[in-house]
């Protein structure tokens, strides 16, 4: 949210609260770092109440006070008496005025104490009695009440009236809650709450002008045209500005759109994903580039606990696209070649897209950027510069959730996506005696089950192919769906073909052995003969 306000020139600030225990989390440090580098107008407030549930501060961190951490990020740090209402008000009010004029982050440590348990079940038996007594006399409400009495601002009668009014308000709220009707269980309503239903209209080119472009150029085309279509779209990622990204997809974007909209990020994947959600709350779109899909683990919590659930929890969409250069066959080793789409396929609230051609790459990326929901967009690195196709020069979209029939046949169905599409077509070209449907899923979530079932019911045999390791891969779910919904039309067991259940190796010969392409030809022949 602070980035959106700063980009729009709104003189607003954001206040973010955490307890002292939360300052040990990586997200806290990433947030301070990015806010500092980008001069975001945000006040970070640490409510230091002495205990993280039952763990005292001396067992949580080594510094004398948490405000000392501000210096490490080059920002101002202020420690205040969190039980002094006037000091809290004056400090926050002063800083808010300053930050609206001169945007920057500030860290405040408010020293306070929790007189009850972290939650009622835990109690406070772990707190020394003397410490409870010491803080009891610092009760902020009681002390402020006495201050107002001494100043003649309040009277005892007025205090009594305020307390009665507060109790009446609470009692009225309780009555409303207690009178609420029993929850009506509706599974379809639960499913409908997962995604924001608002969608933009399909984008169709107005002219038939086409150009031959590689996969990587199709991705770049889509981003460039989206930047023109959505003036508040912001691109964020490591090295994507002047350098143009690890794969040069955003090369030249800074000169055209400026550094405010094409933003190099610190190596802080988690907080950048969180900023994406904040931008969406402000009605803006973001594209976040993971330099390699492997690095998304550093943003995992934000993606699978915040971006994915925000609409289900509180009807707030997350208009964020996370681009993921993925896959192997390029000898990049186990930390730059993983296929991790199954992690997100399992997570409700995320759309997962995986184009296999330049045409689909551009159309699906533009559709993802138009979609108000979070989209995980996989791009296979081996296809970037090895594959070219004629694609429309103008922007266009392809519907997310619709598979593509690559070829038709009568003997069996091959269900695949990504690089698997090209493995399948090569294998069939080398085996002209086999007549097969090839179904390119294109979108993994939502999954086009109708296309799968229609093909399998026609051919009676199914082979599911993916680059990811076999165990726990998407192929297992697809095989189960086919077995459940097409069982009476099957003439053979459903066959899965995937990578070995090992990390992807670095050495090229070992990587080739790991990949399922060589084993796929044998599996195809065996299923045909069954």
Looking from the CA of 233 toward its CB, the CA atoms found within 13 Å total 23
- Distances, alpha carbon 334 to alpha carbons 291, 330, 386, 514, in Å: 15, 11, 22, 11
Q: CB under 8 Å to 479, separation ≥6 — which residues?
A: 462, 464, 494, 496
Name residue, tokens 């309503």.
Answer: 189
d(CA 210, CA 208): 6
Which of 250, 274, 284 is closest to 264 using CA atoms? 250
Q: How many CB atoms lie within 10 A of CB 507?
A: 11
d(CA 138, CA 296): 45
d(CA 261, CA 233): 7
Q: What angle do CA 396, 397, 402 make, to 5 degrees?
A: 150
**Are the C-beta atoms of 515 and 499 separated by less than 8 Å?**
yes
Which of 439, 522, 421, 436 is closest to 481 using CA atoms? 439
**Are the C-beta atoms of 112 and 80 separated by less than 8 Å?**
no
- Distances, alpha carbon 317 to alpha carbons 8, 176, 282, 284, in Å: 20, 29, 11, 11
| Token couple for 172 | 């009225």
d(CA 153, CA 90): 19
Question: Which active-site residues does the annotation give?
Answer: 336
Strand (E) positions, 339-453? 351-353, 375-380, 388-392, 404-407, 412-416, 436-440, 443-445
Name residue, tokens 């500092």.
Answer: 36
């Amino acid at each position: 949210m602070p980035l959106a306000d700063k980009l729009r020139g709104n003189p607003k600030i954001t206040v973010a609260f955490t307890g002292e225990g939360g300052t040990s989390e990586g997200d806290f440090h990433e947030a301070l770092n990015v806010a500092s580098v980008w001069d975001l107008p945000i006040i970070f407030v640490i409510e230091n109440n002495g205990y993280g549930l039952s763990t005292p501060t001396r067992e949580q961190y080594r510094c004398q006070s948490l405000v000392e951490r501000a210096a490490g990020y080059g920002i101002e740090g202020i420690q205040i008496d969190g039980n002094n209402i006037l000091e809290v008000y004056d400090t926050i009010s002063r800083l808010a005025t300053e930050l609206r004029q001169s945007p920057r982050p500030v860290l405040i440590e408010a020293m306070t104490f929790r007189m009850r348990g972290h939650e009622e079940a835990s109690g406070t038996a772990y707190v020394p009695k003397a410490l409870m007594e010491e803080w009891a006399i610092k009760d902020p409400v009681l002390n402020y009440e006495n201050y107002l009495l001494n100043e003649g601002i309040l009277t005892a009668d007025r205090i009594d009236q305020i307390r009665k009014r507060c109790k009446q308000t609470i009692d009225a709220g309780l009555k409303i809650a207690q009178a609420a009707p029993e929850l009506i269980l509706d599974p379809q309503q639960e499913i409908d709450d997962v995604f924001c239903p608002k969608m933009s209209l399909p984008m169709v080119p107005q002219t038939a002008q086409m150009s031959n472009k590689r996969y990587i150029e199709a991705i770049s085309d889509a981003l460039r045209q989206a930047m023109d279509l959505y003036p508040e779209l912001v691109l964020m990622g490591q090295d994507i500005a002047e350098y143009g990204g690890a794969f040069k997809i955003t090369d030249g974007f800074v000169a055209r759109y400026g550094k405010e909209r094409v933003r190099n990020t610190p190596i802080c994947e988690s907080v950048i994903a969180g900023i994406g959600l904040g931008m969406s709350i402000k009605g803006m779109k973001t594209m976040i580039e993971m330099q390699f899909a492997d690095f998304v683990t550093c943003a995992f919590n934000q993606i699978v606990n915040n971006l994915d659930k925000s609409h289900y929890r509180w009807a707030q969409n997350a208009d964020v696209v996370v681009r993921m250069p993925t896959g192997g066959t390029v000898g990049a080793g186990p930390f730059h070649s993983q296929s991790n789409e199954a992690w997100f396929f399992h997570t409700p609230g995320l759309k997962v897209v995986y184009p296999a051609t330049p045409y689909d790459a551009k159309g699906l990326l533009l559709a993802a950027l138009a979609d108000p929901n979070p989209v995980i967009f996989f791009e296979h690195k081996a296809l970037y510069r090895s594959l070219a196709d004629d694609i429309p020069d103008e922007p266009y979209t392809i519907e997310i959730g619709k598979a593509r029939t690559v070829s038709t046949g009568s003997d069996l169905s091959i269900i695949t996506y990504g690089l698997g599409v090209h493995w399948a077509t090569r294998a069939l070209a080398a085996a002209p005696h086999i007549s097969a449907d090839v179904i390119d899923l294109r979108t993994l979530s939502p999954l086009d089950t109708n296309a799968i079932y229609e093909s399998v019911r026609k051919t009676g045999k199914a082979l599911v192919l993916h680059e990811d390791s076999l165990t726990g891969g998407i192929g297992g779910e697809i095989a189960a769906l086919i077995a459940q919904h097409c069982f009476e039309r099957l003439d053979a067991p459903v066959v899965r073909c995937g990578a070995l259940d090992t990390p992807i190796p670095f050495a090229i010969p070992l990587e080739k052995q790991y990949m399922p392409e060589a084993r796929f030809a044998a599996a195809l022949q065996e299923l045909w003969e069954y």
